[in-house]
Amino acid sequence: MNRAAAVLLAVAAAVVLFGQPVFALWAALVALAAAWVLDPPAVRAGLRFGVVLAIVFAACVTAAVVAWAEGPEKGIAIGGMVLLRLLVLTAAAAVIVRNVNVEWILSATARAGFERLGLVFGLALNTLPHLVEVAGDVWTAHVVRNRKPFDHIRRLPGLGVVLLAHTARIADDAAAAASLRGHSALTRPGVLLRSPVRTAVVTGAPSCGKTAAIVRLAEILGERGVPIAGFVQIGVLEEEIRVGFNVRDLLSRDEAGLARLAGRKGGEFGTRFVFSEEGFALGRTALERAAPGCVVLVDELGPVELRGGGHMPAVERAMSVPGLAGAVIVVRRSLVPSLLATLDATDAVVLDIENLGDSAAEEVLAALAL
């Protein structure tokens, strides 16, 4: 019944917008009467006294302006059309919105094959209360810190920065949660890194000691007689500014240049760096030593690898060796969700080592249960 009212009003809206005045009048009257019979609560909600008064006022103003410019007859005709159009459009909007709810939208997107869009809408609805709560907290902090009215306005950009940064962090958390739950509907098909052994994903803030922890871990494993295969990437500094990376084989300690800042010409693979085949070759050689009983150490996988390039083919080959004792993959924090989406592991643990200090290597060892 309600759907019939919505269809009638939608057809009437099209006629009153684009049809001749006589047809528009009849279409509007029939549709409004039908809607009143078929869905009276929606029509009552849409055409409240205040709304009808505003519509009549708008029509009268239009009629007066047109009458002043082109004569009273034209003014009355145009004013009448405006009245009809606004009445029909308002009633149509009220009936359609009453018949379309969130569940209908979500099931319609799923039926139409837009499952991801439905999930995005669902995520928006789920995170809305959290976001509103965060916005309230940010506003309270802004008011408390800026007592003077002028400061309120002057520091509004700062308020925007904090609110937007919080929003981005919630988005990162949602992405990580989706990846950890194996939610694949939002992801695109890409590389898949199979890992049949326990895998430690090591992360942390830039320069927090991730590479040092992997070097120390390699030493501890060597002391215990556990074979290793892998490499670390060491930052190259010039006047305290990072200008590139070298690759170092953890077993042979051979070192080769991997990446250097590109300068004005722009980098490769969408990064700021140009890459050297020599560095990738050394990475391949280091990983080719992977054998049963050995621990694979990869420091680190970046955006290039997560797109399937760089070290990734060599890492995939190393991880496919049967009987490995474990694997350690270093990745920057912002790429953890992407790595988890890429990783097809039976047993994985994420370890943020920023606050672990000298005990980071032992913690990684414990996570590997070795």
Q: Which of residues 291-320 bind another protein (CB under 8 A)?
A: 303, 306-308
x-or-dash string of contact with another protein, 180-219, rule CB under 8 A: ---xx-xxxxxx-------------xx-------------
Among 20, 22, 49, 69, binds another protein (CB under 8 A): 69
Among 47, 66, 87, 328, binds another protein (CB under 8 A): 66
What is the residue type of 193? L
Among 43, 47, 138, 175, binds another protein (CB under 8 A): 175
Stretch that binds another protein, among 29-37, 128-136, 194-202, 273-281 (CB under 8 A): 128-136
Among 110, 132, 143, 291, binds another protein (CB under 8 A): 132
Q: Nearest distance from residue 327's CB to another protein, in Å?
A: 19
Q: In a 10 Å sphere around its CB, with 0-12 CB exposed, 13-18 middle and 19+ buried, how is residue 181 labelled?
A: exposed
Residue the block writes with tokens 């919105």: 97
Q: Nearest distance from residue 369's CB to another protein, in Å?
A: 27
What residues between 98 and 117 interact with another protein by CB under 8 A? 101-102, 105, 116-117
| 256 bridge partner residues | 247
Report d(CA 233, CA 247) in Å as an integer: 5
What is the residue type of 138? V
Tokens (6 digits) for 194: 């199979």
Stretch that binds another protein, among 138-146, 179-187, 220-228, 244-252 (CB under 8 A): 179-187
Report d(CA 62, CA 64) in Å as an integer: 5
Report how many residues bind another protein under the rule CB under 8 A. Answer: 72
| Element (DSSP H or E) covering residue 333 | none
Among 157, 225, 263, 322, binds another protein (CB under 8 A): 157
Report d(CA 307, CA 190) in Å as an integer: 7
Exposed e or buried b for every residue in 244-261, given b needs 16+ CB within 10 A? Answer: bbbbbbbbeeeebebbbe
